[in-house]
Structure 1
């Protein structure tokens, strides 16, 4: 079956992309997302990991992108790293309020758990249940990226399947990971093969990754893939090549 594909980068407003690496020299920073959205159909918002965005910023995101453009929102570190998914009702409401204007273009939320946060199956289930009960988050897809190997187990996969949440496919030399489908879509993050954030995937490596994604074509209908090797603009060029490889394989 043909899969709908959203490919882009993790973040788009890196200052070192503004010297001609990706954005034309002289292009104002407030025009970067508009330019980006002409090259890609999705982006992973990483600024939301640090702090809630201002209303004017969210409005600019909405207006700078075409109707079919989509956003993945990275959940705040306060929820994932400090509170570790517990007692976060108020924090979820704060996040919901901050991105309310962007709701028509949001497709999913990424919850990245920190290194050292070991498996807590019941805690994960409780958080998934909270998301399901919180009105704003009910209509969105949710993705979990685990940084500790203890999470990669069948009981965790069962929780994700029960709540129709996605196990993030993480490709990195420094993070554990497994490619297990837990719902009807794939979410992949590519962090650089040889050096975390700072290495470019070769065409052969990208072809292998494309084949891994393609192997799931009978299990999922949508793929979200974001490149996070932002140093020297590697993410941009790898994302463009990856998209081309999947198009060649008639996945869209």
Structure 2
């Protein structure tokens, strides 16, 4: 089994401030990535959701990580249907943005040629990772208002068309309509038909922007498990100033042991399995990732390490 465990981001401010993961003197961007990649074989890049990724950063990430290290990279927020502040677009493109009086813009607001240029730049920026064999999946976390209805499905189809034959596309929905009783089977069939990786989530349940953990493989190349924590009180917290406020959860060993059983089961039917801890308050994700690796090692001895 090829199971790779890591965390979402290695630069969260609360992680650095906690001083419990990085050793003394590990203060630069280069030193932190080199240390992180000596501890885990996988990381998820979240900064590419907030603003367009940089090709120069991709080159540095390749140089600063060992052979076999894997980056999963999130899709830019505009592509996933989220509201996008004007200052999050590339500076040279900002003067050409639609002048519609809106502070935030959406994909539908963009002229076709503007969209095409953003996609081109995005692909160009992550190409160094792919060329070095260090790109795992491009992770599309669609907005909660992207439903399984005709408009939502059409947008996901459009993204799949643009991504086709370029990079592996993983899909995480944030609207429960995709996996309700009426749509779960058709959603999985759609993902299989388009070779999209179904993202298996562990997250608080009961709200419209929560989906259940669907332990199904839709692309034999990869299974992707994302662990958001189980903190119901903070899942839809208002006024959060950082993602760590929302995903503040420390998995207990018994919870990780139960998850490990499911992870091993799914890993038995795919080429590779990625497990990403997105609980990012201080060093929660890193500690939980290390514990999960130990549990998986105890169960099977088959966890991929750097």
- State the TM-score, normalizing by the size of structure 1: 0.90
Aligned to 1:212: 262
Structure 1 stretches (4+) deviating beyond 6 angstroms? none
Q: Which moved more, 1:141-150 or 1:97-106?
A: 97-106
CA offset at residue 143 of structure 1?
0.5
Secondary structure class of the residue paired with 1:72: strand
Aligned to 2:211: 176
Q: Please, what is the CA RMSD of the aligned residues?
A: 1.9
Alignment match of 2:156 (pick from 115, 124, 127)? 124
* Structure 2 Cα separation of the partners of residues 26 and 53 of structure 1: 27
The answer to whether the aligner puts 1:22 opposite 2:21 as a matched pair is yes
Instruction: Tell me which structure has the larger Cα radius of gyration.
Output: 2
Q: Which moved more, 1:25-34 or 1:143-152?
A: 25-34
The answer to whether the aligner puts 1:156 opposite 2:192 as a matched pair is no
Within 5 Å, give how 1:1-252 maps onto structure 2: 3-19=1-17, 20-30=19-29, 31-80=31-80, 81=82, 82-83=106-107, 88-103=115-130, 104=132, 105-119=134-148, 120-132=152-164, 138-152=165-179, 153-173=184-204, 175-177=210-212, 178-184=214-220, 185-194=222-231, 196-250=246-300, 251-252=302-303
Tell whether the 8 Å contact from 2:215 to 2:266 is kept in structure 1 after alignment: no
Per-residue deviation, residues 113-158 of structure 1 (Å, max 9, x unmatched): 01122113343233212211xxxxx253211000001112222211
* Structure 2 Cα separation of the partners of residues 108 and 180 of structure 1: 17
CA offset at residue 246 of structure 1?
1.4
* Structure 2 Cα separation of the partners of residues 193 and 216 of structure 1: 21
* Structure 1 Cα separation of the partners of residues 16 and 194 of structure 2: 40
* Structure 1 Cα separation of the partners of residues 14 and 267 of structure 2: 36
CA offset at residue 109 of structure 1?
0.5
Per-residue deviation, residues 164-221 of structure 1 (Å, max 9, x unmatched): 1111111111522222221212101101123541110000000011111122244222
Aligned to 1:135: none
What is the aligned length? Answer: 244
CA offset at residue 32 of structure 1?
0.4
Q: Which moved more, 1:152-161 or 1:230-239?
A: 152-161
* Structure 2 Cα separation of the partners of residues 216 and 181 of structure 1: 7
> Which runs of 5 or more residues in structure 1 are unaligned?
133-137
> Which runs of 5 or more residues in structure 2 are unaligned?
83-105, 233-245
Secondary structure class of the residue paired with 2:78: helix
Tell whether the 8 Å contact from 2:3 to 2:267 is kept in structure 1 after alignment: no
